[in-house]
Structures are given as structure tokens and as C-alpha cells.
Amino acid sequence: MQLHVKNMVCDRCILIVRQQLENLGFSVSEISLGKVTVSPDPDPAKLQDISSAFQVLGFELIDKDKDQLVEQVKTQVIELVHYSNLFELKQSLMSIIADKLNKEYVYLSRLFSDVEGITIEKYIIQQKVTRVKELLEYGELNLNEIAYQMGYSSSAHLSTQFKAVTGLTPSKYKAQPGGDRKPLDRIS
């Protein structure tokens, strides 16, 4: 049985979900961000056990088709923004997401806005700003290199968008002590 899991946003999440399911007596045959295939098929009582165990760890089972699709959009955004070089992409993030999910962009956009209360574009910007914060904190790339990697047309464009979201320029953000980065599953 395939389960859909909310808030699986990294490799550590996959590891934790796998361990939790195995502790509950399930065999995991496939697992990726947001999805896990287990056997034997859990009965309603076992599904409740899984749900309870996941909630303690910050995960949720998703059972509605629309909620699953919204979670898949989020997973695709996270994978693209945090684990790829956006400058090298030949099409827009929304086109890639719509193609991967085999859905029309307009439908995904409307559904996402209805469920999450923000547009996909704003969610993408929030994810990009979070990734920029991470790259700034690492200190390995200058702002021009970060802008290039994140697919911005210029460092000025990145700075404008960064300031609109955070209220700070990238240089002021970098200069402040401690960051205010949020975990990926808390961005909405």
C-alpha cells in the first residue's frame, strides 16, 4: 500500500519515516519524499497507529487526493529549489512541476492557492529565499554566484526579492548574528 506523508522534505525525513514504519512491523519496499510503499497493507487500526507515531515526529498521513496533490507540488518545489541548479533549467519551475505531475498549471495553481492560502509562485519565492539564506550562511559563494545558481537574472533582482520577503538586504541578513531560517516543512 502506498502512503502519502506530509512534511517529508529531506533524506533524514526518509530515514526517520522508514525506521518508524519498520518499528511498527511494516516492510518498506519504496520510499521517496512524500511517498512510502509498505507491506502488509495496514488495516484502519494500524493506519491510526502510523498516523499517531508520525504526528509525534512532525509528519502527517495525507488521505485526500487534493491534499496529496498539493503535497506533491510542495515536494517538487523543494526538490527543484534546494537540490538543483535553477539557472540550468530550460523551462519555468511551474512548467516542470506541471509536467512531472501530469496536471495543467492553472488547475495546480488554483488548487494550491485554495488549500495553502498562498500562490505557488509565492511558495517558490519563499523556498528560494530560504535557500539563499542557507547559501549566505555557508559563505562559500558570493551574491552574484548565488543569484546565478538560483536562476535570478541578476544579484539586484535577487536582492530586491530577498528584501521584499525578509525586510533585509542579503548583506544585512548575513551580517546579523544567528539566522532566522525556518525548516523546509514550516515554510508556507
> For the purposes of burial, counting CB atoms within 10 Å of the CB of 27, is it exposed (0-12), middle (13-18) or buried (19 or more)?
exposed
Task: Name which of 87-91, 98-102, 105-109 the model is least confident about.
Answer: 87-91
Residue 181 has pLDDT above 80, yes or no: no
| Sign for the pseudo-dihedral over CA of 160, 165, 167, 170 | negative
Domains and CATH numbers, the chain: 2-63 (3.30.70.100), 64-188 (1.10.10.60)
Is 158 within 8 Å of 147 (Cβ atoms)? yes
State residue 39's pLDDT score: 95
Residue 188 has pLDDT above 80, yes or no: no
Buried b (16+ CB within 10 A) or exposed e, 78-91: bbbbeeeebeeeee
Rounded to whole angstroms, the Cα distance separating 32 from 106 reads 26
State residue 174's pLDDT score: 87
Higher pLDDT, 66 or 164: 164
**For residue 183, what pLDDT band results from cuts at 50, 70 and 90?**
low
* 10: phi then psi, degrees, rounded to nearest 5: -155, 175
Question: Taking residues 83-108, what's their average pLDDT?
Answer: 90
> For the purposes of burial, counting CB atoms within 10 Å of the CB of 5, is it exposed (0-12), middle (13-18) or buried (19 or more)?
buried
Residues composing the chain? 188
Rounded to whole angstroms, the Cα distance separating 176 from 10 reads 27
Over residues 110-145, the pLDDT tens digits come to 999 988 999 999 999 999 999 999 999 988 999 999
Over residues 27-40, the pLDDT tens digits come to 999 999 889 999 99
Residue 71 has pLDDT above 70, yes or no: yes
Question: Taking residues 59-78, what's their average pLDDT?
Answer: 90
Own/partner contacts of 155-164, CB < 8 Å, gap of 24 or more, are: 158/132, 161/125, 161/128, 161/129, 162/129, 162/132
Q: State the chain's mean pLDDT as an integer.
A: 90
Partners of 4 in the β-ladder: 35, 62
Is 39 within 8 Å of 3 (Cβ atoms)? no
Residue 184 has pLDDT above 80, yes or no: no
Residue 105 has pLDDT above 80, yes or no: yes
Is 126 within 8 Å of 114 (Cβ atoms)? no
CA nearest 6: which of 60, 75, 57, 44? 60
State residue 141's pLDDT score: 92
Percent of the chain clearing pLDDT 70 (strictly above): 94
Query: In the structure grid, which three cell numbers stand for residue 56, read together?
Result: 509525534
